[in-house]
Amino acid sequence: MSSAERAEVVPARVFGEVAEVYDANRPGYADELVAEVLDYARLGGSSAVEFGAGTGKASTLFAARGVPLVCVEPDARMAEVLRRNTEGYGQVRVEVGGFEEWQPGGRSFGLLYAATAWHWFDPDRRWELVHERLRPGGAVALFWNPHGVLDEELFRRLGEIDRRHGVAGSPHGQLAHWYDGAPGTGSAADAENWPAAEAGRDGRFTDLRSHRFRRQVHYDTERYLGFLSSISTYRVLAPEAREAVMAETARLLDARGGGIDLLHVSDLFLARRR
């Protein structure tokens, strides 16, 4: 599957069909991360644009700080929930569109950000489009929420379930101590997607920075299954396969106290258009 096909199929058809579940169960982002982004961006009243806004997990945090914001989301069902979540903020505009196809209509922005969405964008075009949409000196902020399991025995047994059902890339696929290092380190996928090297090679961006924020979270079984049901690696399974892996995961979590403790990581990359 090409990057363009992946960007069309997964966000538009997989997440949108569970928009309410996504909104209820996906974790948000650290307040410290938002503060770091805004301190770096120095907007001074300039607008920001968010791509892959989803249901507003990041949008509401920026909106609550008074940022004039355009939220761009490719799936109309996700955008409907996003509008509901941001309707109390008069300075927020929601537009339906994909990262590659969206047209700014002569607008430029002091901040462009993407929350757990950058990896869906066309790698051959994304830095060019970021450059076009930012005013000179404007900031780009890219961030993700990886997780690490604190209980090594639970990690091992969940991994066995995932392998039996052909699941890869679940939130419990890493151990917490893997995230003791620098931002962008942890799993192989984290390192592969970390944007610092791409931005450095591009040459049109400067002042590259990386930050990592950590906190421990607990999910009871029901909420954790809701979280898993919003993850693309589960959404692409056949319904009967998804039901089977969810049931087996639930039995294990219930047998081990009724939930799971995770290290919740927020990794942030910042750069500035020259």
| Proportion of the chain above pLDDT 90, given as a percent | 83
Indicate the average pLDDT of the chain: 92
Query: Where does residue 169 fall: left (phi above 0), alpha (psi -120 to 50 degrees), or beta otherwise?
Result: left
CB-based contact 95:102 (threshold 8 Å): yes
Query: In DSSP terms, which residues pair with 202 in a beta bridge?
Result: none
Calpha distance 114→134 (Å, rounded): 14
Query: pTM for the complete prediction?
Result: 0.90
Calpha distance 262→108 (Å, rounded): 39
**Tens digit of each residue's pLDDT (9 = 90 or more) over 142-189:** 999 999 999 999 999 999 999 999 999 899 999 999 999 999 998 766
Q: Which domain holds residue 143?
A: 3-273
Query: In the Cβ-directed half-sphere of 252, how many Cα atoms lie within 13 Å?
Result: 20
211, two tokens:
């930050």
pLDDT-based confidence at 6, cuts 50/70/90?
A: very low
Run of H or E including 268: strand 259-273
Residues 6 or more apart in contact with residue 94 via CB below 8 angstroms: 53, 71, 73, 79, 82, 83, 86
**Tens digit of each residue's pLDDT (9 = 90 or more) over 85-124:** 999 999 999 999 999 999 999 999 999 999 999 999 999 9
pLDDT-based confidence at 4, cuts 50/70/90?
A: very low
Mean pLDDT of 46-68: 97
Give me the DSSP letters along 20-43.
HHHHHHS----HHHHHHHHHHH--
Query: In DSSP terms, which residues pair with 33 in a beta bridge?
Result: none
Q: Inform me whether the pLDDT recorded for 3 exceeds 60.
A: no
CATH assignment at residue 254: 3.40.50.150
- What's the structural domain count of the chain? 1
Calpha distance 21→17 (Å, rounded): 9
Helix then strand count (H, E) for the chain reads: 12, 8
